[in-house]
């Protein structure tokens, strides 16, 4: 019986000493996981940094967009007023301010009138 107890004690001591020399797989996996997570964090940081630079470049280089307006139908009374003012020799800028139209609209009205006269 004493031999069995001594044998078990020696085996226990042997296994305890053996556990110090055997590599721990869990620690190795934890270390690999930690390295992987650090690498991912660094890549994520670099990606966000590059994205921020690109966004700033886009905001700086972003020119105001040109909006295309649909032509607005102008009342016939206003059209006749524009034509009358033009015939009196009023400048396009004054016609535009008096009729509350843009200069382009005034030019369009006058061009349409000239086309109609040429067709007759």
Write the pLDDT tens digit of every residue in 79-120. 888 889 989 988 888 888 888 888 888 899 989 888 888 886
Question: Which of 102, 67, 106 has the alpha carbon at shortest distance from 86?
Answer: 106
Tell me what pLDDT residue 1 has.
83
User: Mean pLDDT of all residues in the chain?
Assistant: 85
What is the count of structural domains for the chain?
Answer: 2
Evaluate whether residue 3 is within a structural domain. Answer: no
Evaluate whether residue 84 is within a structural domain. Answer: yes
Enter the pTM of the model.
0.40
Same domain as 83, residue 54: no
Q: Is the pLDDT of residue 74 over 80?
A: no
Q: Is the pLDDT of residue 16 over 60?
A: yes
Domain extent for 34: 24-62
């Amino acid at each position: 019986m004493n031999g069995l107890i001594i044998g078990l004690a020696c085996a226990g001591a042997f296994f305890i000493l053996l556990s110090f020399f055997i590599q721990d797989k869990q620690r190795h996996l934890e270390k690999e996981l930690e390295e992987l997570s650090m690498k991912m964090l660094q890549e994520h940081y670099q990606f966000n940094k590059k994205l921020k630079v690109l966004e700033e470049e886009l905001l700086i280089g972003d020119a105001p967009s040109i909006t295309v307006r649909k032509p607005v139908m102008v009342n016939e009374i206003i059209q006749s007023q524009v034509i009358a003012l033009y015939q009196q020799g009023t400048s396009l800028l004054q016609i535009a301010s008096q009729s509350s139209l843009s200069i382009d609209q005034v030019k369009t009205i006058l061009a349409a009138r000239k086309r109609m006269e040429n067709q007759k």
